[in-house]
A and B are shown apart, each in its own frame.
Chain A
Amino acid sequence: MPSPIIRIDTITKAYGPLTVLDGLSMEVMPGEKLALIGPSGSGKTTILRILMTLEKINGGHIEVEGQQLYHMEKAGGLVDADERHLQKMREKIGMVFQHFNLFPHKCVLDNITLAPMLTKGVARAVAEKRAMELLEMVGMADKAKSMPAQLSGGQKQRVAIARALALSPKIMLFDEVTSALDPELVEEVLNVMRKLAAETDMTMLLVTHEMGFAHDFADRVLFFDRGKIVEQGKPDDIFRNPKQERTQAFLRKIIAAGHRV
């Protein structure tokens, strides 16, 4: 039995008086594809942001590959991680955002090569070769010299995925990556992710409102509500046969809103 790649241990997160996560614990196995679903404000995006170190936690511990994410060992005890430790840990994790967050002043190719060159000292020629392979994979090789403003939303998101992959993370976080897209552009991004799931053994955490995709993509689905995991299990069990009242209510609402399950 391999050990979990991510171990979240009773973490809490509050914004002022608003508690978003209250003693949450969960584990993710290497290579596992996880879908996090639930109503807005249920804390699912916050978990991804915490794993990417975009938000600090107020309590608890997180381990990634057996190493503390927000803490480091010093004189036998655990102290808060410094920037150097965080940088080392971030190498393991990549993230794709709802609004792409491409660098508007850099062409597609430079968007992808910048981080490997700066953070890992990869030579330009090597970085560009790898970037072109990734662009090929996401079907964007012909746009390597385009500026982000010249691309559609779906194209931007595919570039953003390639950009995150360029750092070869072990864990990829997808935060509502199709929510900002026009409906006809959703499928091209989902196709890239299907391919990615099939061709790599990366661990993937996906926050989504695309229930049909979550069903096909995930090994395990976690339903969140008010900062807690209400129910989790195999996609078929969660979507076809949810046990909890709140899961049933949520899925009914989603179906009523016209989403395919």
Chain B
Amino acid sequence: MIDWSGYIALILDGAWVTIKLTIMGSALALVVAFAAGLGRMSRFFAVRTLATVYIEFFRGTSIFVQLFWVYFVLPFAGITLTPLQAGVLALGLNVGAYGAEVVRGAVRAIGREQHEACVALNLGRYHRMRYIILPQALPLMLPTFGNNAIELLKGTAVVSLISLSDMTFQAQVVRAQTGNTLVPFATILVLYFAMAWAISAGVRWLERRATRGLDGVRV
């Protein structure tokens, strides 16, 4: 009979690494998504080009390859990152590229009449974006941002390739040590699902907050 408590603790250690990667990766992805998404609509050609190159490059190559580059190739350029830093960077940049297109699409979806009202009220470009367009575009972005965050969560499993002991890595360890496949993999199945569910619930809550009052319901 195997004493599972120690092994489950191992998997929970991994779960913590997965959570850290997901939160920090999502935070980076969010920042990058807005920078690149807005950059792609810039009136400056150089900014637009830079944003477009970034987006197409990171959408067009696999997270697996990007991770290896960040962790194993960057040191040749004198940039050495810890596995966690490398994981966050690769995941954030990868998912941020998808998020950038979400930002751009949502901003584009705000009608011309809102822009014209801003011109008539003499609001400058920054004020227009900050107070009128983005607050209306944000509720449109949230559902897809939720999807992206869940994708990022599941993507964290690749970091085991650069020796980071995330949840999937620990499950493999437990499997190797105990010879039992069902228990560790059933455990991480449930844990991944719980984490994804928490993200969905959080995004739904944000959506409700962001759309409050827009439907004519008295607040």
Instruction: List the interface of chain A (C-beta within 8 A of B).
Output: 52-54, 83, 87, 90-91, 93-95, 97, 99, 101-105, 107, 114-115, 118-119, 146-147, 149-150, 163-164, 167
Which of B121, B122, B136, B216 sits near A150, CB closer than 8 Å? Answer: B216
Report the contact-size class of chain B (Cβ under 8 Å from the partner).
Answer: 20 to 34
List chain A residues, Cβ under 8 A from B125: 83
Is B122 touching A90 in the complex (CB atoms < 8 A)? yes
7 smallest CB-CB distances across A and B, nearest first, come from A149-B216, A101-B117, A115-B121, A95-B120, A90-B122, A147-B213, A101-B113
List chain B residues, Cβ under 8 A from A105: 135-136, 213-214
List chain B residues, Cβ under 8 A from A147: 213-214, 216, 219
Is A115 touching B123 in the complex (CB atoms < 8 A)? yes
List chain B residues, Cβ under 8 A from A104: 136, 214
List chain A residues, Cβ under 8 A from B27: none
| Number of A-B contacts defined by CB within 8 Å | 70
Can you name 28 A-B residue pairings with CB atoms under 8 Å?
A: A52-B116, A54-B119, A87-B122, A87-B124, A94-B120, A95-B120, A97-B120, A101-B113, A101-B120, A103-B132, A103-B136, A105-B136, A114-B121, A114-B131, A115-B121, A115-B122, A119-B122, A119-B123, A119-B127, A147-B213, A147-B214, A149-B213, A149-B214, A149-B215, A150-B216, A150-B218, A164-B121, A167-B122
Shortest Cβ gap from A177 to chain B (Å)? 13
List chain B residues, Cβ under 8 A from A101: 113-114, 116-117, 120
Shortest Cβ gap from A42 to chain B (Å)? 21
Q: Is the interface of B mostly helix, strand, loop or mixed?
A: helix
Across the interface, name the chain B residue whose C-beta is closest to A118: B127
Instruction: List the interface of chain B (C-beta within 8 A of A).
Output: 113-114, 116-117, 119-125, 127, 131-132, 135-136, 213-216, 218-219
Known interface pairs A101-B114, A147-B216, A163-B121; 12 further A-B residue pairs with C-beta atoms within 8 A, sorted by A's residue number: A87-B124, A90-B119, A90-B122, A93-B120, A101-B120, A103-B114, A103-B117, A103-B136, A114-B131, A119-B122, A119-B123, A119-B124
Is A97 touching B131 in the complex (CB atoms < 8 A)? no
Shortest Cβ gap from A169 to chain B (Å)? 9
Shortest Cβ gap from A53 to chain B (Å)? 6
A101 to B219, CA, bound (A): 21
Is A164 touching B114 in the complex (CB atoms < 8 A)? no
A115 to B131, CA, bound (A): 10
Shortest Cβ gap from A70 to chain B (Å)? 14
List chain B residues, Cβ under 8 A from A93: 120
List chain A residues, Cβ under 8 A from B121: 114-115, 119, 163-164, 167
A101 to B119, CA, bound (A): 11
A83 to B122, CA, bound (A): 11
Is A52 touching B120 in the complex (CB atoms < 8 A)? yes
Shortest Cβ gap from A229 to chain B (Å)? 24
Shortest Cβ gap from A39 to chain B (Å)? 23
List chain A residues, Cβ under 8 A from B131: 114, 118
List chain A residues, Cβ under 8 A from B135: 105
List chain B residues, Cβ under 8 A from A146: 218
Across the interface, name the chain A residue whose C-beta is closest to B117: A101
Across the interface, name the chain B residue whose C-beta is closest to A163: B121
List chain B residues, Cβ under 8 A from A119: 121-124, 127
Is A52 touching B119 in the complex (CB atoms < 8 A)? yes
A102 to B132, CA, bound (A): 10
